[in-house]
């Protein structure tokens, strides 16, 4: 055996051992390219691989430090002659400028920007060209005999299989990453469990995040992963909706679901399908509809409020005609009697009745005007510093001169002096409304106005307490609603307390009532205190 034959056999044996080794594919390819370059005297080696659509990219090179080779080229740039040469069935294409190369061969050499070229295509399982293995710029311009080219063809064929495997794995990884990226960024929660065993098979990031991560789902049944208190299949499991009578996947089933631990709403879509291992799996996709549910609930409440408001306004208008007509009839009627009467006492009684009904009519009109201003946002406020004690004493003097009140109206003793920044007129409107309401429903006992500084707050709390008939429990929460009257037989519009609430809220306070039927009521409000 000649030395040349021994070297070739050693090269071939080493080459095949490397391809069959447990080394990484990357190492196998790189070192194989290097060995072929060294054995056959090429300065550089390269691999082009396609993106599957438009371009061939320079995937890997040996000895291309000067960047002579093209980085990429369009598939359409290759001529039919080029493809025919590169797609040889039994031997690779080889050409050298200095060896009387044909014009076609020179075109191919020029295409790769080298002086000599040996090239073999890489094909996928369907025979489609997915790349090229090439070697360029041979140190010695010596032609290969057909036998050599045929052997090189076989060697590169073995190497091309490794390259094809690498490409397949890389595409598999890219596809997996792409799919994972899609699954994690499509704005929905997704998980998969075994149809029969309920074992968790997959969960995307958005699904796993509220539970602390993917690790939470590993090795668990779906009900164990999703619920703390479940010990078996959920009673609402949709599996029965997902398969036909033959046990085959049938249709997508959807329903709305509220997550127990945070009360978020989701629209859930379930389907059965064949998992990667062939078993039937259950895929669940859920879309966050919590905002939608919130809007729906707000719309429902708004609709109910609007319907209720419409009913109240209708009742108000019907009542208003009666409430306005009553004092007007009294004024007109007693005015006629006043003209006809000569009795001094009788005439004074008529005047008193007319005065009372005039005041009532003015109050009705005032409430209606205030309501319209509140709805339009134009209710005026004039702010100034106010001495609360003097203010409350002034209110008491107004009630002291009234002789027809059923019970005394008192100011609680020993009240301190406080100053607040407020609208005196509007504050008086609220307090007098409280007192007047108390007078309507209190026949015995007394009515008391008081105030105090709330502990650990910067608020003054005012209250009007009576010993009247009290408010029915079912009406307590509605007393500040518009058009609501504490007693259907009492005079008034049902607007006063609603107006009071709007005033107090504008002044930065809160308002409320405490009442026991048959014992009395306590109306209160708070007001900011700056000290």
Question: Which CATH number belongs to the domain containing residue 513 in this structure?
Answer: 3.30.565.10
- Indicate the residue among 130, 158, 179 that finishes a domain: 179
How far apart, in whole angstroms, are the C-alpha atoms of residue 483 and residue 500?
13
Contact present, 73 and 56 (Cβ < 8 Å): yes
Task: Based on the fold, state whether residues 29 and 10 are members of the same structural domain.
Answer: yes
Task: Based on the fold, state whether residues 29 and 119 are members of the same structural domain.
Answer: yes
Separation in Å, CA 111 to CA 60, 152, 250, 436: 18, 22, 56, 103
- Indicate the residue among 131, 149, 179 that finishes a domain: 179
Which element (helix H / strand E) includes 375? helix 344-376
Task: Based on the fold, state whether residues 313 and 267 are members of the same structural domain.
Answer: no
pLDDT digits (tens, 9 = 90+) for 360-390: 788 778 877 887 787 777 888 999 999 999 9
Domain of 314, CATH number, reads 1.10.287.130
Domain of 165, CATH number, reads 3.30.450.40
Contact present, 524 and 497 (Cβ < 8 Å): no
What is the pLDDT at residue 447? Answer: 95
Domain that residue 459 falls in: 384-528
Name which of 377, 357, 379, 356 is nearest 367 in CA terms: 379
* Eight-state DSSP code of residue 239: G
Task: Based on the fold, state whether residues 104 and 201 are members of the same structural domain.
Answer: no
| Percent of the chain residues past pLDDT 70, beyond the cut | 94
Q: For the chain, what's the residue count?
A: 531
What is the pLDDT at residue 1? Answer: 44
Q: Please, how many CA atoms are within 13 Å of residue 16, restricted to the half-sphere of its CB?
A: 9
Task: Based on the fold, state whether residues 116 and 193 are members of the same structural domain.
Answer: no
Domain count for the chain: 4
Q: What is the mean pLDDT of residues 68-92?
A: 76
Task: Based on the fold, state whether residues 304 and 389 are members of the same structural domain.
Answer: no
Query: 148-158 in b/e burial notation, b at 16+ Cβ within 10 A?
Result: ebeebeebbee
Task: Based on the fold, state whether residues 262 and 318 are members of the same structural domain.
Answer: no
* Eight-state DSSP code of residue 88: -
Mean pLDDT check: name the lowest of 124-128, 247-251, 320-324.
320-324
Which element (helix H / strand E) includes 40? helix 25-40
- Indicate the residue among 179, 206, 229 that finishes a domain: 179
Task: Based on the fold, state whether residues 198 and 347 are members of the same structural domain.
Answer: no
Task: Based on the fold, state whether residues 239 and 366 are members of the same structural domain.
Answer: no
* Eight-state DSSP code of residue 405: -
Q: What is the mean pLDDT of the chain?
A: 85
Task: Based on the fold, state whether residues 220 and 308 are members of the same structural domain.
Answer: no
pLDDT digits (tens, 9 = 90+) for 156-201: 988 888 888 887 787 777 777 777 787 777 778 888 888 888 898 8
- Residue 309's pLDDT band, with cuts at 50, 70 and 90, is confident
Q: Which residues pair with 126 in a beta bridge?
A: none
Task: Based on the fold, state whether residues 260 and 329 are members of the same structural domain.
Answer: no
How far apart, in whole angstroms, are the C-alpha atoms of residue 142 and residue 36?
16
* Eight-state DSSP code of residue 217: G
Asked whether residue 70 carries a pLDDT value surpassing 60, the answer given is yes
What is the pLDDT at residue 80? Answer: 67
């Amino acid at each position: 055996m000649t030395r040349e034959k021994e070297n070739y056999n050693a090269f071939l044996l080493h080459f095949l051992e490397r391809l069959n080794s447990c080394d990484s594919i990357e190492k196998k390819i790189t070192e194989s390219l290097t060995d072929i370059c060294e054995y056959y005297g090429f300065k550089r080696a390269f691999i082009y691989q396609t993106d599957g659509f438009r371009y061939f990219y320079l995937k890997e090179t040996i000895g291309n430090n000067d960047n002579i080779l093209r980085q990429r080229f369009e598939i359409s740039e290759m001529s039919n002659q080029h493809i025919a040469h590169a797609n040889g069935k039994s031997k690779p294409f080889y050409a050298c400028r200095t060896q009387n190369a044909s014009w076609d061969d020179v075109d191919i050499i020029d295409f790769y920007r080298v002086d000599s070229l040996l090239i073999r295509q890489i094909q996928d399982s369907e025979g489609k060209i997915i790349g090229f293995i090439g070697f360029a710029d041979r140190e010695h311009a010596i032609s290969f005999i057909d036998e050599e080219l045929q052997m090189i063809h076989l060697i590169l064929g073995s190497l091309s299989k490794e390259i094809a495997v690498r490409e397949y794995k890389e595409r598999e990884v890219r596809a997996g990453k792409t799919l994972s990226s899609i699954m994690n960024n499509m704005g929905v929660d997704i998980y998969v469990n075994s149809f029969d065993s309920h074992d968790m098979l997959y969960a995307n990031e958005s699904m796993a995040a509220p539970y602390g991560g993917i690790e939470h789902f590993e090795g668990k049944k779906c009900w164990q992963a999703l619920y703390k208190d479940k010990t078996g299949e959920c009673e609402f499991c949709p599996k029965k909706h997902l398969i036909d009578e033959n046990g085959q996947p049938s249709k997508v089933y959807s329903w709305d679901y509220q997550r127990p631990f945070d009360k978020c709403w989701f629209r859930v879509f379930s389907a059965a399908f064949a998992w990667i291992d062939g078993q039937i799996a259950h895929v669940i996709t859920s879309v966050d509809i919590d905002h939608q549910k919130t809007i729906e609930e707000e719309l429902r409440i708004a609709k109910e409020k609007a319907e209720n408001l419409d009913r109240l306004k209708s009742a108000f208008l019907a009542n208003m005609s009666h409430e306005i007509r009553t004092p007007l009839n009294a004024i007109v009627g007693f005015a006629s009697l006043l003209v006809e009467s000569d009795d001094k006492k009788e005439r004074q009684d008529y005047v008193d009745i007319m005065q009372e009904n005039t005041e009532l009519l003015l109050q009705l009109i005032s409430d209606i005007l205030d309501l319209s201003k509140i709805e339009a946002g134009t209710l005026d406020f004039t702010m100034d510093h106010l001495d609360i004690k003097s203010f409350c004493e002034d209110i008491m003097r107004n009630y002291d001169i009234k002789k027809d009140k059923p019970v005394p109206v008192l100011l609680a003793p020993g009240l301190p002096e406080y100053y607040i920044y407020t609208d005196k007129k509007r504050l008086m409107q609220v307090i007098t409304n409280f007192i007047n309401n108390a007078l309507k429903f209190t026949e015995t006992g007394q009515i008391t106005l008081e105030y105090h500084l709330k502990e650990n707050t910067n608020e003054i709390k005012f209250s009007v307490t009576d010993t009247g008939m009290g408010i029915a429990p079912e009406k307590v929460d509605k007393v500040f609603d518009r058009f609501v009257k504490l007693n259907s037989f009492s005079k008034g519009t049902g607007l006063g307390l609603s107006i009071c609430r709007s005033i107090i809220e504008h002044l930065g306070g809160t308002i409320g009532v405490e009442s026991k039927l048959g014992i009395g009521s306590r109306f209160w409000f708070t007001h900011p205190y700056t000290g």
